[in-house]
């Protein structure tokens, strides 16, 4: 798979975004990621939070 394949970029952005969120360092993404990757990671975070919240509420039922 090429280095800039969309699937690979998306997966990396998810992992970096999650790591940044868990460590409360979302703003620091710009310091160690390429601009496109940092922006994608930040854009994916709300979606990941929505999915996690929906999954947790489903478990409580």
Return per-residue pLDDT of the chain as tens, 61 residues.
566 788 888 888 887 777 777 667 777 888 888 888 888 888 888 887 787 777 667 666 6
- Residue pair 4/17 in contact (Cβ under 8 Å)? The answer is no
Q: Which residue's entry shows tokens 């929906």?
A: 54
In this prediction the pTM is 0.56
**In 11-30, which positions are buried (b, 16+ CB within 10 angstroms) versus exposed (e)?**
eebbebbbebbeeeebeebe
Q: What's the DSSP call for residue 17?
A: H
């Amino acid at each position: 798979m090429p280095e800039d394949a969309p699937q690979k970029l998306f997966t990396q952005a998810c992992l970096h975004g999650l790591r940044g969120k868990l460590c409360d360092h979302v703003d620091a993404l710009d310091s160690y990621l390429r601009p496109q990757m940092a922006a994608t990671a930040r854009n994916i975070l709300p979606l990941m939070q929505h999915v996690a919240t929906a999954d947790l509420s489903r478990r409580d039922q």
